[in-house]
Amino acid sequence: MSQAPKYLTGDSAAINEFLDKFDVFLLDCDGVLWSGDHVFEGIVETLEMLRSRGKRVVFVTNNSTKDRPAYQLKLTNLGIPSNVEEIFGSSYSAAIYISRILKLPAPKNKVFIIGESGMESELRAEGVPFIGGTDPALRRDITPEDFKKLSDGSLLDPDVGIVLVGLDFHINYLKLSIAYQYLRRGAKFIATNLDNLLPTGETFFPGAGSISIPLVNMTGQTPLTLGKPSQAMMDAIEGKFHLDRARTCMVGDRLNTDIQFGVEGKLGGTLHVLTGVHKREDWEAENAVAVPAYYADKLSDLRGATS
């Protein structure tokens, strides 16, 4: 069905043609710009080249624990120049969705958060009321009194209309029990992203999708999800940047998040770089979840353009 992806590495003519087709580049970060704490060689220069040609770059990440300023600080610490408006994370995306698209009528629009401070600050910036999150009162063991008060409902806030779940390093039985009660009473179930694993160091840790899955298992409900490849995130990006999808390219290392995100979003193009999770054989496979339009060994191969 799809055409074979065009290989850009070392082909200046192809790179020039590729760059001329797009005004906006949506960049996945981990596996594209860096791995762990190691920024790939030539990345800073490549971003400079794109900007000098008048391209807009947007850093699109499923990371839910950091708000935009914190994520910008991370980029700065890694030596990558950026401004906060170029950053689009799954918590920001969730806050936009809740405040501008879902728009539950107050006061029943309160959010119960399972997640870290980045989720709180993005909701706060959008003026969305919330409880839970980093509240120290919930960072404790469940007690017999909690069982009673969750059973009779007296521990619950009647204004909670949304349960928002992201990565929470302080997940516990009490938080899961409270979130379940809200869902059982009809609260909307929203997840920042469903990544099952969090790549860290040489291994993996539980990702946001492994925090929300007990609630999926308990309720039989699937959350509305904001992170890639959910098109709710694409809609939020389009709404913010007023981009022309036909002149936008998604760049990533994963077929089932980044490339699928761009293909389903009907962007003008997708570029797969081989510095992360997926390789050539993954889209060459019969049952590939998504096939990119372009591929390159690494993002910095785009510097091979003639200027």
Residue 265 to residue 290: CA distance in whole angstroms: 12
Which pair of tokens denotes residue 288?
């590939």
Over the window 86 to 125, marking each residue x when it contacts a second copy by CB under 8 A and - when it does not, the resulting string is: ----------------------------------------
CA trace torsion 266, 267, 273, 278 (10° rounding)? -20
**Shortest distance, position 201 Cβ to a second copy, whole Å:** 3
- Strands (E) in the chain, as ranges, are 6-7, 24-27, 34-35, 38-39, 56-61, 87-89, 110-114, 130-132, 160-165, 188-191, 197-200, 203-206, 224-225, 248-252, 269-273, 294-296
Q: Is 141 known to be catalytic?
A: no
**204 binding a second copy? (CB under 8 A):** yes
Identified catalytic residue from 30, 168, 282, 301: 30
- Residues making up the chain, counted from first to last: 307
Over the window 211 to 230, marking each residue x when it contacts a second copy by CB under 8 A and - when it does not, the resulting string is: x-xx--xx------------
Peptide linkage before 107 cis (omega within 30 of 0)? yes
Q: Which of 209, 223, 262, 276 binds a second copy (CB under 8 A)?
A: 209
Residue 240 to residue 58: CA distance in whole angstroms: 11
**42 binding a second copy? (CB under 8 A):** no
Q: Are 249 and 22 in contact (CB under 8 A)?
A: yes
Determine whether the annotation assigns residue 30 to a binding site: yes
Q: Which stretch binds a second copy (CB under 8 A): 69-77, 179-187, 226-234, 293-301?
A: 179-187
Reduced to 3 states, what is the DSSP secondary structure of residue 291?
coil
Q: Which stretch binds a second copy (CB under 8 A): 51-59, 120-128, 142-150, 230-238?
A: 142-150
**172 binding a second copy? (CB under 8 A):** yes
Q: Is 28 known to be catalytic?
A: yes
**202 binding a second copy? (CB under 8 A):** yes
Q: Are 251 and 26 in contact (CB under 8 A)?
A: yes
Identified catalytic residue from 28, 67, 195, 258: 28
Q: Which of 2, 79, 173, 246 binds a second copy (CB under 8 A)?
A: 173
Look-up of token digits 């995306």 = 93
- Chain positions contacting a second copy, by CB under 8 A: 139, 141-142, 147-148, 150-152, 168-173, 176-177, 180-181, 184, 196-197, 200-207, 209-211, 213-214, 217-218
Which residues are annotated as catalytic?
28, 30
Which residues carry a binding-site annotation for Mg(2+)?
Answer: 28, 30, 253
Which residues carry a binding-site annotation?
Answer: 28, 30, 228, 253
